Structures are given as C-alpha cells and as structure tokens.
C-alpha cells in the first residue's frame, strides 16, 4: 500500500513539473502531453522499484 501511495505522489510531482515545462516551452500538443504522461508514469514506477 505504501508503494502505491509513493507511486501516486511521484507521478503527480513529475506531471506537475512536466506540465509547467510544456506551457513554458509552448509544447502543448496532444503528443507532448501524452509523452509527459508516459514519462512521468515510467519515472514513478522506476523510483518505487516496480521497474
């Protein structure tokens, strides 16, 4: 249960950082948001030790 909460926290931190970067760099296309989502999920899973 703790690792799931950890995954969610890391995911939201990564998504918020990448969302700000997408807006600042004016890369707000659907592909850019999808890449941010996938990379944030991968980072969260890697950080929690699942991957």
What is the C-alpha to C-alpha distance for residues 32 and 48, in angstroms, rounded to an integer? Answer: 24
Q: Which residues are CB-neighbours of 43 under 8 A, at least 6 positions away?
A: 10, 11, 14
Residue 2: the pLDDT is 61
Higher pLDDT pick, 49 / 42: 42
Over residues 2-37, the pLDDT tens digits come to 678 888 888 888 888 888 888 887 877 788 888 888
pLDDT tier, 51 (very low <50, low <70, confident <90, very high otherwise): low
Per-residue pLDDT at 1 exceeds 60? no
How far from 29 is each of 12, 20, 21, CA to CA, in Å? 20, 14, 13
Question: For the chain, what are the domain ranges?
Answer: 2-48
């Amino acid at each position: 249960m703790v690792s799931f909460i950890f995954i969610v926290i890391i995911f939201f931190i990564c998504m918020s950082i990448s969302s700000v970067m997408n807006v600042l760099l004016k890369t707000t296309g659907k592909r850019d948001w999808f890449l941010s989502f996938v990379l944030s999920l991968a980072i969260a899973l890697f950080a929690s030790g699942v991957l």
